[in-house]
Amino acid sequence: MADSTLIDTLQFGPNDAPTHKYEVYGDDEKTPTYALIYQHSGGDWEKIDETLTFAAKDEQDEASSTMDYGSSDGLPELRDLPAEARERSEKHWRDNFAD
């Protein structure tokens, strides 16, 4: 996580006063692997004790745990992984924090 790249910062809640912020990180700008989640509290953003992981991270873990001779997986490059990360972040916010 230390060498991760900040890909996007998403804020959710009322337009004039977002209540939650998701900072999406990845190995590069096109491969999001996780998001740190912050909650607005007392004028400051406080990190909550939860990390949201994305398909790219799950696929990397799966690929590293299986031996796969002679094939290459080009599918992750065909998908818009940053868009999927935004959708998953918004869904996570709606499921866990939205009124």
Least confident of 9-13, 32-36, 55-59, 67-71: 67-71
The pLDDT of residue 65: 63
pTM equals 0.78
CA pair distance 36, 25, nearest whole angstrom: 8
Give the per-residue pLDDT at 23: 98
Is the pLDDT confidence value at 37 over 70?
yes
HEC letters along 36-63: EEEEEECCEEEEEEEEEECHHHHHHHHH
The distance of Cα 78 from the centroid of its chain, to the nearest Å, equals 18
CA distance 26 to 92: 18
Dig out the tokens for 49 from the structure.
Answer: 């004790």
Q: CA torsion angle for 59, 60, 61, 66 (degrees, to 10)? A: 90
